[in-house]
Amino acid sequence: MTTFPWLPVLLVAPLVGATAVMLLPKTSDKLAKQVGLVVSLVVLGLTIAMALNFDAATGDRFQFAVSTPWISQFGVNFALGVDGIALVLVALSTTLVPIVLLAGWHDADDSRGTVRGYVALILTLEAAMIGVFAATDVFLFYVFFEAMLVPVYFLIGRYGGPRRNYAAVKFFLYSLFGGLLMLASLIGLYVVSGDILGTGSFDFTTLASMAIDPGTQKWLFAGFFIAFAIKAPLVPFHTWLPDAAAEATPGTAVLLVGVLDKVGTFGMLRYCLELFPDASRWATPLVIVLAVVGIIYGALLAIGQTDIKRLIAYTSVSHFGFIALGIFVMTTQGQSGSALYMVNHGFSTAALFIIGGFLISRRGSKLIADFGGVQKVAPILAGTFLVAGMSSLALPGLSSFVSEFLVLVGTFERYTWVGVIASLGIVLAALYILLMYQRTMTGPTPDIVAEKVHDLTGREIFAVVPLLVVILVLGFYPKPVLDVINPAVDRVMHAVNATDPAPSVAPVAEGTAK
């Protein structure tokens, strides 16, 4: 195993880039974008190099682990490390940032904030996203969890749409409330660890090995789970998302929905299940109900939307219902499908927001009714939007199908009727995606659309193509990602003492007549 400090370098590089961007002259807008893009590509290159050194077959709980004392009085360490699930989410984050910067090259040009500030905030957010997935000290995880709020608040509040202030404050208050609940549970967890171990600890591995009283687990679980349910967002904690996504720039919406929301479902899988296994099993029926309601409710609301960005946001509410469902059905297929779904949803939603953003910026309107016949004047834009939409509705051959299929298989193994109801979300997904495509891309072309809407430029194509390539490749060959994810899922299943249900039909013995 290499001793190169991959994770500290990945964490520091975007912060150094953000500092360099802010030190540029005020008139250096183009240079700021170029520096930000180069830094993000370097971080992506480092992530790829780290991933190539990852050994999925090792028995180590975390790889590339580093730890140094931070707040010694309370046993807090600056500890980083990744398992397979954290690795793919770090890779998702570092892949989307350069795409966002390239696709949103002009997003900050006419805003209240500076271009330098926009690029620096994106890079700062990238560092926080890497940190939150890589932290192996629970207190450090909380610090990164809260730190993400700051750049997102300013990205929405300074660079967003007409209702940006309302959306930014609503996002911040919801997230801050969840963070305070988590902090209370975190303090309680530290006190409990002191009672059990003789000294308080925030080390994840140490905490996960403790036998906490089931009653105490329920209270601690509640604080963590509500914080993660708000971040995910899981119904009924979802109402901040449509406002934030609708008012944010397309690039900010990509990172908000494509990555930050995954912190919620990642937290459920990593922290809720492994730290509080008894409480997780106790809460499973309620979480499954909330997940199924989210699948159906989010899809129905998406069908009724008149705003493109709000429609995409509500589709994500439905998709996060699938992810939460897969986590809490406590089957290998369900949890592997959920972990893969986090990655696939990130890419498909990124494509929808980015291409939808191109469409909105050309027409100057987010309303679906203001479009029509776009495929006649911008066939490449319409074609890429169709592929992204088909991935979102989980068309076979595209990436989301594999993860959604695994979630449903894992659900049917243990809860047949839940699987039947959740499957209705697939039908509803076809409705909201196809209706949106039909209303915007087909039919007569209004004069204003023909005048304003043009096809994708070279830069825009270069930003979108990597997303579509990933969608296609993972649709046909998800094995490399699943091979990385599955050992981590096996550890989670072992931690919650869960096993896959036995087959209901006994295999036919060899030689037995049929």
**Section 120-136 average pLDDT:** 95
- The C-alpha atoms of residue 23 and residue 51 are separated, in whole angstroms, by 32
The pLDDT tens digits of the residues spanning 77-88 come to 999 999 999 999
Alpha-helical segments (H) within 53-114: 84-103
Is the distance from CB of 373 to CB of 443 less than 8 angstroms?
yes
Quickly count: other Cβ atoms within 10 Å of residue 233's Cβ: 27
- The C-alpha atoms of residue 305 and residue 328 are separated, in whole angstroms, by 30
Q: pLDDT class for 223, splitting at 50, 70, 90? A: very high
φ/ψ of 5, rounded to 5, equals -75, 70
The pLDDT tens digits of the residues spanning 129-138 come to 999 999 999 9
Question: DSSP assignment, residue 477?
Answer: -
**Section 228-247 average pLDDT:** 90
- The C-alpha atoms of residue 268 and residue 285 are separated, in whole angstroms, by 15
pLDDT exceeds cutoff 90 at 200: no
**Section 304-330 average pLDDT:** 92
**Section 89-99 average pLDDT:** 95
Q: pLDDT class for 511, splitting at 50, 70, 90? A: low
* Closest-CA residue to 245 (of 298, 295, 181): 298
Q: Where is 79: in which H helix or E strand?
A: strand 76-82
Q: pLDDT class for 495, splitting at 50, 70, 90? A: confident
Is the distance from CB of 339 to CB of 89 less than 8 angstroms?
no
pLDDT exceeds cutoff 60 at 482: yes
C-alpha pair distances (Å), 200 with each of 61, 73, 75, 194, 208: 21, 10, 7, 4, 13
Percent of the chain at pLDDT exceeding 70:
97
User: In the prediction, which pLDDT does 322 show?
Assistant: 94
Give the pTM: 0.93
Q: Residue 80's beta-bridge partner residues?
A: 66, 135
Strand, coil or helix: 63 = strand
User: In the prediction, which pLDDT does 514 show?
Assistant: 44
C-alpha pair distances (Å), 250 with each of 152, 210, 254: 13, 43, 6
- The C-alpha atoms of residue 429 and residue 296 are separated, in whole angstroms, by 9
φ/ψ of 71, rounded to 5, equals -120, 85
The pLDDT tens digits of the residues spanning 442-466 come to 988 888 988 898 999 999 999 999 9
pLDDT exceeds cutoff 50 at 500: yes
User: In the prediction, which pLDDT does 232 show?
Assistant: 87
Question: DSSP assignment, residue 259?
Answer: I
**Domain ranges (residues) in the chain:** 279-498
**CB-count exposure of residue 450 (10 Å: 0-12, 13-18, 19+):** middle
SS (H, E, C) 374-417: HHHHCHHHHHHHHHHHHHHCCCCCCHHHHHHHHHHHHHHHHCHH
Is the distance from CB of 149 to CB of 182 less than 8 angstroms?
no
pLDDT exceeds cutoff 70 at 57: yes
Is the distance from CB of 158 to CB of 116 less than 8 angstroms?
no
Helices (H) and strands (E) in the chain, counts: 23, 2
Considering only 103-117, 236-250, 382-396, which range has the smallest mean pLDDT?
A: 103-117
C-alpha pair distances (Å), 375 with each of 303, 445, 459: 21, 9, 20
Amino acid (1-letter code) at residue 461: I
Greatest extent of the chain over all pairs of C-alpha atoms, in Å: 83
**Section 354-381 average pLDDT:** 91
- Whole-number mean pLDDT of the chain? 91
Amino acid (1-letter code) at residue 380: I
pLDDT exceeds cutoff 70 at 1: no
pLDDT exceeds cutoff 60 at 258: yes
